[in-house]
Amino acid sequence: MTEDARTWVDETGVEVEIIRKMPVAACLPHSFNELMLNIAESKCKIKSEAGDTVKQWYKLSDKNGRVIGTNFGKEPYEFVLGRGQVIRGMDAAMKDMCIGEQRRIVIPPEQAFEEEGREEDGIEPGSTLYYFVELVDIFRPNPGEKWLEDDGLSIEVIHKIEESECKKAEPGDTVHQEYTLYLQDGTYVDSSEARKKPFIFKLGSGQVIPGIDRAMTGMCEGEHRKVIIPPDLAYGEKGRPPVIPPDSYLRFDIELAKVIKANEGQNEGKKEEL
- Tens digit of each residue's pLDDT (9 = 90 or more) over 172-184: 999 999 999 999 9
Same domain, 200 and 125: no
Domain hosting 192: range is 146-264
Same domain, 235 and 177: yes
Same domain, 135 and 152: no
User: pTM for the full model?
Assistant: 0.64
**Per-residue pLDDT reduced to its tens digit, 41-91:** 456 889 999 989 999 999 999 999 999 999 999 999 999 999 999 999 999
**Looking at 97, 120, 139, which one is the last position of a domain?**
139
Same domain, 12 and 132: yes
> Following DSSP, what letter does each residue of the chain receive, concatenated?
--TT-SEEE-TTS-EEEEEESSPPPSS--SSHHHHHHHHHHHS---B--TT-EEEEEEEEE-TT--EEEE-TTSPPEEEETTTTSS-HHHHHHTTTPBTT-EEEEEE-GGGTTTTT-BGGGTB-TT--EEEEEEEEEEE------EEE-TTS-EEEEEE---GGG--B--TT-EEEEEEEEEETTS-EEEEHHHHTS-EEEETTTTSS-HHHHHHHTTPBTT-EEEEEE-GGGTTTTT-BTTTB-TT--EEEEEEEEEEE-GGG----------
Same domain, 11 and 133: yes
**Looking at 139, 160, 179, which one is the last position of a domain?**
139
Please give the share of the chain, as a percent, with pLDDT higher than 90.
77
**For 245-262, what is the mean pLDDT?**
97
Same domain, 128 and 169: no
Here the CATH number for the domain that contains residue 76 is: 3.10.50.40
Same domain, 73 and 194: no
- Counting the structural domains of the chain, the total is 2
